[in-house]
A and B are shown apart, each in its own frame.
Chain A
Amino acid sequence: MNEKNKWIDDIIESANSLGRVEPRSVVFDNILSEIEAEKIQRIPLSKIRYSIAAAIIIVSVNIYSVLDISTNESNQSSTDNELISNYNIYE
């Protein structure tokens, strides 16, 4: 029993025996290139704002033109009906 406890204690205490290790020097270079890559990928806020404004303008112009066409069509169809209602052109 004592032998087992000692064996376990020795293993737990072996944590103190670990030496400190350093990362490879390439790690810092990788960090710098990752930071640069993220900088390139990151879209500035002003660009996002301009894109949103452009999208809103495009959508509203589209909505306006669709509405305009549909009102024109309904007006046109009513006049068509009037014209079509009378086929006796030579009377």
Chain B
Amino acid sequence: MVYWRIIRKSYRRNLQYRLSHLINNVASSIFGLVFIAIWMGVLRGKAVHGPYDAETMACYIAICQSVLWVTTFMSPGLNVQVGVRSGAVSLDMIKPVHYLWYTLSQEFGRLLYNACYRSLPIGLLLGLAVGFSFPSDPLAYLLFLLSLLLAAYVGMLLFYLVGISSFWTTEVRWLHLILLSLVFGFGGQMIPVDLMPGVLGQLAPFLPFAAMIYYPVMNWLELAPAYSIGVQLLWAVILTAVALAVTKQARRKLEIQGG
């Protein structure tokens, strides 16, 4: 299948950077350690209601740091804006594969690479620091995998939408930063979203940002609510529809500008 081939090519291309990334993982783990230390300070000597005792919270943050590399740390705009600026996008659009799936396959290859050379080492390092936590139920692994794939998919679509906005604007850098801060703020990387105060805590679990980080992590910890996969699926469907529609508009825009 052609998309699988694109994925494999993209994976291999990324292998070139392996060594420098493996070193960088140590620095990234320090970020994780800082977050864990903050939470230990917050929780020290306090009775916590709900599932978040100090030990669970440490694992939560550690798994978050690992999951981030598959669902959040993607290429800005999935590099769509690069093609738009150089004009290469017109060639990509006339390829016999759909532009959306083509772009997503490219990115997915990179994410597979990230999973092997970023997520695993970082998870290992942080696990050594705070202790490992494995699901007891074999079914949980399956749910986690499904949740992780959906998270990556939702993330890719959001990043894609930022990238394709470059058909109408000149600069996507700021839109990208806004998206990133929304994901960091409401995705659950700093704080499990259900712990947020007031309305925020009730709303955040149903935003697409929680679908990117919070749910896969909670599925690994076997703490996810039953509807978690449902929320992710719903966002996957909605965003797919939006992305397809926007891609169609972009294609039309391209045709108007013409050769």
Partners in one complex: no
